[in-house]
Amino acid sequence: MMRAQGLSTYTRLIEAALGELQERGFKAARLDRIAARAGVTKGALYHHFPDKRSLALAAIDDAMGREISALWIQPFAPGGDPLPRLAAGLACYIAAGAGGAHYALRGLIANLAARDPAVYASVHERLAHWRKRLSAHLARARQGGLVRSDVDCDAAALFILSSWEGCLEAIRHADPTALPGCGQELLRYIGSLRTDTHKAMVYLPASPGARSAGAPFSPA
């Protein structure tokens, strides 16, 4: 159910658009249904968004921003060691597999980009923004002695985000069962960023033949 109470018109439209797009795809999505779902008039919708494309782009940008913030930025909140928090959160996403919202979001992006290739430019711009933020957080963790002093934080942030996006593309296009194995290697890389003093436990997702979710291992 739409969380209409207490949300701004803009936020209600974004949430309604995301739901409509995920259920019907860009071509079949209709602005009148989105407006009704948000509990606003079409005039109010057009006050914020001139057309369906601009609304779809805003909805994708919002959803991707919330996902990346939850997965890659919030674990670096002050207090404690961020890498185990990051790894544990990632393991939950991996466990969700193709049933997770992160998977549906990539399908939505591809659906829209098939009709408008410029969409990928917008997505890449946003990923570049989040990569800079992740790099800055890694640098602060390095200064605090929680990340190895020889880690290139810009390169590490690029590798982490690119690997995650690549994992999601792999399960969407090639092998729906590839995410646990791909994710485990990404978790292993994240574990390798730790200093010897703090190198301890990161978490593996559940997968056939692997440790259960939450099972610790010491990265080599």
Residue ranges in the chain modelled with pLDDT below 70: 1-6, 97-101, 103, 196-220
Kindly report the three-state secondary structure assignment for every residue of 60-103. Answer: HHHHHHHHHHHHHHHHHCCCCCHHHHHHHHHHHHHHHHHHCHHH
| Rounded distance between C-alpha atoms, residue 90 and residue 100, angstroms | 12
Q: Is 58 helix (H, G, I), strand (E, B) or coil?
A: helix
User: pTM for the complete prediction?
Assistant: 0.76
H helix and E strand count, the chain: 9, 2
pLDDT for res 38: 96
Select from 94, 16, 23, 85 the least CA-distant residue to 49: 16
pLDDT for 101? 67
Instruction: Report all structural domains of the chain as residue ranges with CATH numbers, in order of start.
Output: 1-50 (1.10.10.60), 52-215 (1.10.357.10)
- For 91-145, the pLDDT digits (tens) are 888 887 656 667 678 888 888 888 787 788 888 888 898 899 999 999 999 999 9
Q: How many Cα atoms are found within 13 Å in the side-chain-facing hemisphere of 135?
A: 14
Closest Cα to residue 10, out of 57, 46, 48? 48
| Averaged pLDDT score across all residues of the chain | 82
